[in-house]
Amino acid sequence: MQRYLKPAKHSLAIMLFCAILLLINSIFTVNRFGIAPREASHLSGILFAPFLHGGWAHLISNFFPFVIFSSLIGLHSLRRFWLVFILSILSTGTLVWLFARGGSIHIGMSGVVYAMWGYLIVYGFRQRHFRDIIISVLVLIVYGGLVFGVLPSSPNVSYESHLFGALAGGVIGYLLSKSKIRV
């Protein structure tokens, strides 16, 4: 049982770090370190953006899906959680930097949340193990509404992070389901 709680603990620690950065942002403007598409000076935003949030509502809206999806991915192993988490940050951030609308700074964990969502759906159906298929179906039923987040809705919401996250997560799920290496 302890093994299954480790990914949840790690994801909670990550979100605590995000909360600390949100507090720091009220004193020093750290959100400027997000992703500014196609600006070389903001390449570092690929790494920093997921940990930065525009406010408490923004952080809380990412909190529960992140912890739940992290825990589900971590059912395989803690290493699998970290692999998917890091690949999600790098791939989603890179796609946002390359293709998102300019003139704005993209921040928040939602791109990673969408990547984990895409991963869980694709991995389960590709892997064809009973537990993984059940997880995919449950994620689709409970979080199926996330699909609408990939559409432009508000100028203050980075639908590009959602779209590219879901696509990147699907690719990660596909590749890891075919991989002979087990993490």
Measure Cα distances from 70 to 31, 58, 75, 88, 149 in Å. 24, 18, 9, 12, 19
Q: What angle do CA 13, 70, 62 make, to 5 degrees?
A: 70
* Residue-wise pLDDT tens digits, 42-79: 999 999 999 999 999 999 999 999 999 999 999 999 99
What is the per-residue pLDDT for 75? 93
* Residue-wise pLDDT tens digits, 163-174: 999 999 999 999
Residue-averaged pLDDT of the chain: 94
Taking 90 as the threshold, does the pLDDT of residue 180 lie above it? no
Residues 23 and 89: their CA atoms lie apart, in Å, by: 22
Mean pLDDT to the nearest integer, 72-100 = 97
**pTM attached to this predicted model:** 0.95
Give, as one character, the DSSP assignment of residue 35: B
What is the per-residue pLDDT for 181? 67
